[in-house]
Structure 1
């Protein structure tokens, strides 16, 4: 039985080209980037080349890119710095952000006494720009807005440009967890006034354990780690050279054929949706995940017209890898915090599944998934 992997929002398979460049680096470029001899200088040069390549992709300077171990570390660093170093006292967010943001904010609320303001959400998980504007125009304390570009569970796409402009108009810092957007959307940070974004390489066919933070020039940042002065003093620790090089290559590949690949993935998403409707005419979709314009082409979150606690487990037995929500909370027993906030109790009790695609997903795999769902529904 050929397994079908449809959980790319959790992580993506590493592209062969990325593996090749990482293998070459492991063999040929093993020096410590902090060493002053030739081996060290070669390693350092490779890191800085990758930094420049990534910065160029987003139209920023290399000094604004900091390498991290992933999106969670970057979110933590940015939010902690905003409170401890930049004087932020109020953070405006939503209750359907990634746990890397929500849990960090709750920690800062407990330890630093910050105020967290949660924006209202409609039944689709959308915010109100009017409410955001009203909140930002109220009070004189230092504020920060933290809203993710693409929701990792329901695929909703934030009207990022409008939010950024509202923040700029009100002289408020804007942080966006862009982990699900990097490699899927064109990002020009010269035109888009975001102060902080984050990325994780394993979301766009790069290696796990590496990512980066973008910090707008002129914003002071306290170190996230002490001890060696790497990353211009911001993150002490010997750099993950081979993974940084792999991330650079993965990002280049993502943007080389972005339009064509996103179009192909969008077609697969539509094919899946129509196939599901053919089996379950009364099917529902969570958030805006059914929409072509308001959600990521890579994510579908479907709510079946029944409750089956064993659905994902049994799909796994049938060779299908999907999820019920964020992989970062896969051990939780109370279900998706995102769906809990936007669905009523009856809807929440229904079985919901997140299906997420990549450029390696095929129509045959969608067919196998549909057959598995139909089989499971028949024997249920």
Structure 2
């Protein structure tokens, strides 16, 4: 049986060269970087090297990069650290309705527990923030705007440069969750006026359990993790040495191959999108198209079908996909992202996300296009939702 892993937005395999680079730091170069003896110097140097690799990939400075345990931790640090630090200046945070739960749940905590005011911006039908909505939401109490670079479910890329410029003009700090985007796009934090950025290694063929946080030089946040003096005293905890090395190598390798891989994935993505829409009637593509969509992302809604049943049927054919964010894949609630795009609960429940990566081939795309229409047709033939839809349309 053929197989196809199409859930690269959830996680990626660790690159063999990344793994090879990490191995010595488990058993040979294992010194605690905070120790003063010479044996630990190699560990400190490895972290410095990785910090430089991440900085170069973002056009940042090495001292602006802080290592974390995940992209989620970096998101939490950005929001909590900023709002707590600037409480005397203002108490207003602006984010969007389609953020990852790492942002939304943190914003809800700040609102309900800490007493801050939060505005959740709506988006258009493609999932894009409207600049006029953002500007209208800003007040003299606004201290932070957090808008994800690209959505993890529908792949829509936000107007980050415009948002950054507006925030810089208004004297408001700007954070972006780039966990998905950093693995797919070229990001220049200086050109885009980004003050803070979060990313994660395991989305870019690095190891799980390590992320990075870009904090523009001159800014100071409240510590998120208290303890020792690691990461210039801002993020306590003995460094994940091997993981940090892996992140550095992973992002450097990703950056080197980005233009060619981006073009390859865009071609496969569009082949999959066009094939699904042409072969399966009454199907909707969720999110933007072309350059305004992540190169590896596809997301569809199929009228009359529950997305979870599609996953099981696809899995039986060796195809791994998802209905949305991997962090909430066990939830039976419809996607908050799709609801924010204006989809009905019925359509949101019938969604399927297929995300591509280095291992994706044209043969795998063709295999999906051969299998998926049969699965959808069979499930619709058993679906009362489909029967109701046909009746409403006058076909039964």
**Short-chain TM bin:** over 0.9
Matches of 1:44 and 1:329, distance apart in 2: 37
How far off is 1:192 after superposition?
Answer: 1.9
Question: Tell me, what secondary structure is at the counterpart of 1:72?
Answer: helix
More divergent stretch after superposition (347-356 vs 166-175):
347-356
Runs of 4+ in 1 over 6 A off after TM superposition: none
Deviations 1:52-76 (A, max 9, x none): 2211222222111000011100010
Deviations 1:12-60 (A, max 9, x none): 1111111111123323311111122222111111111111221122222
Q: Given the alignment of the two structures, is residue 123 of structure 1 paired with residue 125 of structure 2, yes or no?
A: yes
Matches of 1:191 and 1:31, distance apart in 2: 38
Contact 2:176/2:196, CA 8 A, preserved across alignment: yes
Report the counterpart of residue 165 of structure 2 in structure 1: 165
Matches of 2:135 and 2:104, distance apart in 1: 21
Q: How does 1:96-115 map to 2 (within 5 A)?
A: 96-115=98-117
More divergent stretch after superposition (340-349 vs 152-161):
340-349
Q: Given the alignment of the two structures, is residue 301 of structure 1 paired with residue 296 of structure 2, yes or no?
A: no
Question: Tell me, what secondary structure is at the counterpart of 1:125?
Answer: coil
Q: How does 1:351-362 map to 2 (within 5 A)?
A: 351-362=350-361
Q: How does 1:79-98 map to 2 (within 5 A)?
A: 79-87=79-87, 88-98=90-100
Q: How does 1:223-372 map to 2 (within 5 A)?
A: 223-288=223-288, 291-308=289-306, 309-345=308-344, 348=347, 351-372=350-371
Matches of 2:99 and 2:349, distance apart in 1: 22
Report the counterpart of residue 374 of structure 1 in structure 2: 373
The gaps in structure 2 that reach 5 residues or longer are 380-396
Question: Tell me, what secondary structure is at the counterpart of 1:368?
Answer: helix
Report the counterpart of residue 44 of structure 1 in structure 2: 44
Contact 1:306/1:350, CA 8 A, preserved across alignment: no
More divergent stretch after superposition (65-74 vs 121-130):
121-130
How far off is 1:347 after superposition?
Answer: 5.1
RMSD value over aligned CA atoms? Answer: 1.5
Q: How does 1:213-224 map to 2 (within 5 A)?
A: 213-224=213-224
Deviations 1:167-218 (A, max 9, x none): 1111111011011111321122222211100100001110000010000111
Matches of 2:349 and 2:237, distance apart in 1: 46
Contact 2:277/2:284, CA 8 A, preserved across alignment: no
Matches of 2:183 and 2:353, distance apart in 1: 20
How far off is 1:346 after superposition?
Answer: 6.0
Matches of 2:177 and 2:193, distance apart in 1: 14
More divergent stretch after superposition (66-75 vs 14-23):
14-23
How far off is 1:264 after superposition?
Answer: 0.2
Deviations 1:59-98 (A, max 9, x none): 2221110000111000101111111112241111111101
Contact 2:310/2:376, CA 8 A, preserved across alignment: no
Question: Tell me, what secondary structure is at the counterpart of 1:310?
Answer: helix
Matches of 2:349 and 2:190, distance apart in 1: 44
Contact 2:86/2:143, CA 8 A, preserved across alignment: no
Question: Tell me, what secondary structure is at the counterpart of 2:291?
Answer: coil
More divergent stretch after superposition (170-179 vs 344-353):
344-353
Residues 132 and 251 of structure 1, relative CA distance in 2, 3 Å threshold: same
Matches of 2:246 and 2:190, distance apart in 1: 25
How far off is 1:125 after superposition?
Answer: 1.9
Aligned residues: 376
TM-score by length of 2: 0.91
Q: Given the alignment of the two structures, is residue 75 of structure 1 paired with residue 78 of structure 2, yes or no?
A: no
Deviations 1:246-288 (A, max 9, x none): 1111101111121110000000011111221332143211121
Contact 2:335/2:349, CA 8 A, preserved across alignment: no
Matches of 2:78 and 2:34, distance apart in 1: 25
How far off is 1:349 after superposition?
Answer: 5.3
Matches of 2:346 and 2:376, distance apart in 1: 18
How far off is 1:359 after superposition?
Answer: 2.1
